[in-house]
A and B are shown apart, each in its own frame.
Chain A
Amino acid sequence: MRPFGYAAPATVQQAVGLLAAEGSEALAGGTDLLSLLKDDVEPVDRLVALRGVAGLSGIELDGGTLRIGAMTTLQELRDHDGAIAALPALAVAIDGVASPQLREMGTVGGDLLQRPRCWYYRRGFGLLALTADGRSMVTEGDNRYHAIFPAGQARFVNPSSLAPLLVALGAEAVVHGPAGERRLPVEALYQAPQTAEERENTLAPGEILAGVEANVAGSRSAVYEVRQRRSLDWPLMAAAVTLTGSEPRAEKARIVLGHAAPTPHVAAAAGDLLSGQELTSETVAAAADAAVEGAQPMSGNRYKVQLARTAVRRALGHAAGMEI
């Protein structure tokens, strides 16, 4: 790692002030950021440690509203019986991080805002991984783990374990910045960068993610991840679904894919197809097909289209409590 300064603010306001300076980066659990620094991928002058900032850590269940502080560790969330009972799919998403060390260190905010694992990005070729003459290293190179829904030149995938579920739930992100607090849908935290300078999240300088808030009442959610190994391994594909309305009919269905696109990929057409429908193996299969409509696989990731279809089908099955 290159040399850097370090500040440990006690309050959100202090953290915001420190992060407004150029070259400052927020340090949460460190499991991603330290690797980026070791690999010299992102230059940083100062780390602003959020570990001691008051008000960023904790879980509140208030009626049907679940509030999770960004610095809550994945393990703390997993151990919170109330949160897991209210939203059992959380357990699946967290257990997908099959390492107690990462669950103890990694935070909810860190999971949501971790940088892409794209091996070109991690080797210093940039988020878009373009050659000097503008060709995509991803399309010409090895793209087995890359996006099946690329967005412009962005072909990496969003790696968050929690984002698909939170987006499916319609959760809100609470962000603090120099201008105070703003709330936005979790999906609006993300963007597909179109230039080498842009990042894949929408936080402005000085802004920090304070936490997320979701209404967990009156809906059924499920997460299904396809991982090759049962031990610690990135999912090859993930699907999260939220069904609202009483069974067997789904008044509304939200289907979101992870590891499929540069952002959590909302399969809107698939959700629409199911809305107002009874879930049967036929409607579920139709939704799974609709979820991958428009996929643009590359030379080495065609299999991920099949994985997406399967993940959607199985997530819907779990959410509806049916054998798929």
Chain B
Amino acid sequence: MADYSWPEADRRAQIGARPARLDGPVKSTGFAKYPSDQNPRGLLAAKILTCPHAHARIVRIDTSAAEAMAGVRVVHVIQGEGSEIQWAGDEVAAVAAVTEDVARDALRAIQVDYEVLPHFVTEEDRDQAPGAREAGERAEGDPDAAFATAHRTVERTLGMPQMAHMCLEPHGQVCSWDGDELEVDASTQAVSTLAGQFATELGVPASQVRIRTEYMGGGFGSKFSPDRWGIVGAELARKAGAPVKLFLERDQEVTVAGSRPSAFARIRAAADEQGKLVAWDSDSWGSGGLPGTGQTPLPYVFSRLPNRRTRHTSVPTNLAGSRAWRAPNHPQACFLTMAVLDDLADELGLDPIDFLERNLDLTGRPDTYREQLGIAAEMASWKERWQPRGREREGAVQRGLGVSVHTWGGRGHSSNCDVTVHPDGAVEARIGSQDIGTGTRTIVAQVLAETFGLELHQVRVSLGDNVYPQSGPSGGSSTVGGVTASTRRAAQDALREVLVHVAPRLEAEPEQLLAEGGRVFVDGDSSRGVSWREAAAQIGGAPISVQGRNPGRGRLISSGVGGVQIAEVEVDIDTGVVHIERMIAVQDCGLIINRRLAESQVYGGLIMGVGYALYEEWIPDPVSGRLLNADMEFYKLAGLVDVGSLEVHMMTGPGYDERGVIGLGEPPVISPGAAISNAVANAIGVRVPYLPLTPDRVLDALAGRGGPA
């Protein structure tokens, strides 16, 4: 059997091109129906009652008044008397009713008596944390000796708080039963794996659970499971005998449906006279809510740093458990590491780019980073414009430049794809993946069109449904590799079958034939050919259908990328307000399928990064234990006019393409926190130790006051 591969660069019509996303028109006209837009006949609305206390025991729960209300169909107790609640916002009961307003009325009628217990929600000061767990110490080399003889050492305490996923479409689903069969319109990143989880919880065969997600309004790592509200929604629908729509209210979405763990660390790092890193000692801690959190990988990127010791403490808090947030652990590790290295460069009197370059042998891909640092510096006019800290300054507004490097894996996940060629020439792919906004639908179509030599409008892609062949959840930048590989394998196999049928007519061997430009013809003699339609007609009466898989043979994908980002900021030193002037991203991701969508991923990463660098944080109240900003008013996302000018350089072409397809969703969101923090330090001459870089923190740093606000 022939092997699987991507076409050579000069033969690519679709791959690497910039076609617009296929679902653009339905989205920009509002015609796209998201799971929360589904309004099936007889629909009931469900709402969830949550606990207002961060730690409490349910003493008594009385639902009788709610049950008696007109329009209420089902009242369901989720956690009954005696249950211990561990975070504010945890689910206590649910109601399905004829309208949302009636369901909310019913929630207010449910009487719950709580015994309120002590809570702990602010992990910055770990010494006060009950239940903090030390995760042990790891050491390599002799850090103490290395510090003792080092030329320069810096010591910093740094950190970033928990933050929210803030998916615009809240978590939730519409559940409809037909006998024992359940249909779920879910806002999920995992159509192929959700059914089994629903089935287990509900006691029905997985084959009787249908999951559909044609469109969904953002997940970022928080939408991989049915969640308790999914199971409750299905139970309500079963009891009511009617479809039930249950989507979280915004405050619930912010509080329980996804957060990124915090990360704090006291770090010492040292270098020798040549500016080579020689020692590292970090004592980190953080929280991902009640489960605490694992260790962030320190030192980040420069992981071959000799003489290092790392300790970590996991701090549980009375907050809902964290979830995978775009590039789990990396933004935190990147900030903690790059900020310390940046301060060390300053201590050494070195340009930070020079300092990083001197130490690239401590990274996993020195050549990539060296090339990327060069390109990024050029784009930023770094050599002409960068100035050391502590320079003479005039006026309130100070400018600064900062740099950071990052890495990610991005190997394609397991994926299956059915490709069918119909005798009339129609080509379609069916795949149990989902388009979470990254453009999966479009790139699968491009692979199809490329393989068969067709235009995008001549192929059809069906996804977002678990009746299609199983494909992995969209997380960890694994989708693009997974779906393009499975699609390419299926498409190449299907094409070969077609060519076997066409070859006799063209008096050629199948291996001599090419499918390009809407035709099938003999390689080297394009006059000997037929249109694609005629070619397809040769297959006889029945369509050809082939399944392709990933992983599989052929070098279609790989993993492991590097990226460099530079931030340029303006800081008003009289107000502490930071404004982004410019963000530059240099990123590699192997073979790019859709240049436009790839760039959009990087722009999106930069923008999300500006958000957590400047604005975003969970603000838990030490007094009540509740989140004080479970809304979009004081939980602040970056707006259109807050992100400055964005420039992206994709590392593509010879030397990069040969590696095949590698995921891109995560890497660009890793560096912004570090690059922006470094730019602010460059502008104002001191490190602001905590993210986000809010005016209070900036002014505290300028005034020489440490510590979180």
Q: Residues on A close to B: CB < 8 A?
A: 1-3, 40, 98, 117, 119-120, 123, 125, 131, 137, 140-142, 144-145, 226-234, 236, 300-303, 306-307, 310, 313
Contacts and interface: CB of A to CB of B under 8 A. Distances in A.
A285 B282 CA distance: 44
B696 interface: yes
Contacts of A125: 624
Nearest to A138: B623
Nearest to A118: B628
Contact of A303 (B621, B624, B696): B696
Given A123-B628, A229-B642, 13 more contacts: A3-B105, A98-B641, A119-B621, A140-B623, A142-B619, A142-B622, A229-B636, A231-B638, A231-B639, A300-B709, A303-B699, A307-B575, A307-B695
Given A123-B624, A229-B615, A231-B641, A236 B108 contact: no
15 contacts: A98-B639, A137-B623, A141-B628, A226-B575, A226-B577, A226-B695, A228-B615, A228-B695, A231-B640, A234-B634, A236-B575, A303-B696, A303-B709, A306-B574, A306-B576
B621 A142 contact: yes
A131 B699 CA distance: 31
Given A140-B622, A141-B622, A145-B634, A232 B628 contact: no
Contacts of A98: 639, 641
Interface in B259-307: none
Considering residues B105, B575, B624, which has the most beta carbons from chain A within 10 angstroms of its beta carbon?
A: B575
A230 B621 CA distance: 27
B105 A141 contact: no
B101 interface: yes
Considering residues B105, B638, B639, which has the most beta carbons from chain A within 10 angstroms of its beta carbon?
A: B639
B579 interface: yes
A141 B621 contact: yes
Nearest to B102: A3
B574 A310 contact: yes
Contacts of B615: 228-229
A232 B639 contact: yes
Contacts of B614: 228
Contact of B636 (A1, A123, A233): A233
Contacts of A302: 696
A137 B640 CA distance: 35
A230 B696 contact: no
A175 to B, nearest CB: 29
A141 B577 contact: no
B155 interface: no
Which 3 pairs between the two chains have the least Cβ-Cβ distance? A231-B639, A303-B696, A141-B623
A1 to B, nearest CB: 7
A302 B633 CA distance: 22
A203 to B, nearest CB: 25
Contacts of B696: 144, 300-303
Contact of B576 (A144, A230, A303): A303
A229 B615 CA distance: 8
Considering residues A119, A145, A302, which has the most beta carbons from chain B within 10 angstroms of its beta carbon?
A: A119
A310 B577 CA distance: 12
Contacts of A120: 628
A142 B627 CA distance: 10
Contacts of A229: 615, 636, 638-639, 642
Contacts of B633: 117, 234
B550 interface: no
B700 interface: yes
A228 B699 CA distance: 13
Contact of A230 (B619, B624, B626, B642): B642
Contacts of B640: 231
B694 interface: yes
B50 to A, nearest CB: 13
A306 B699 contact: yes
Given A119-B634, A131-B623, A231 B642 contact: yes
B363 interface: no
A98 to B, nearest CB: 8
Interface in B627-677: 628-629, 633-634, 636, 638-642
Nearest to B694: A228
A142 B575 CA distance: 20
A228 B624 contact: no
A300 B694 CA distance: 12
A282 to B, nearest CB: 17
Considering residues B579, B621, B640, which has the most beta carbons from chain A within 10 angstroms of its beta carbon?
A: B621
A140 B621 CA distance: 9
Nearest to A99: B639
B695 A230 contact: no
Nearest to A224: B575
A228 B616 CA distance: 12
Given A137-B623, A142-B619, A230 B579 contact: yes
Given A141-B622, A303-B700, A40 B108 contact: yes
Interface in B573-628: 574-577, 579, 614-615, 619, 621-624, 626, 628
Nearest to A300: B709
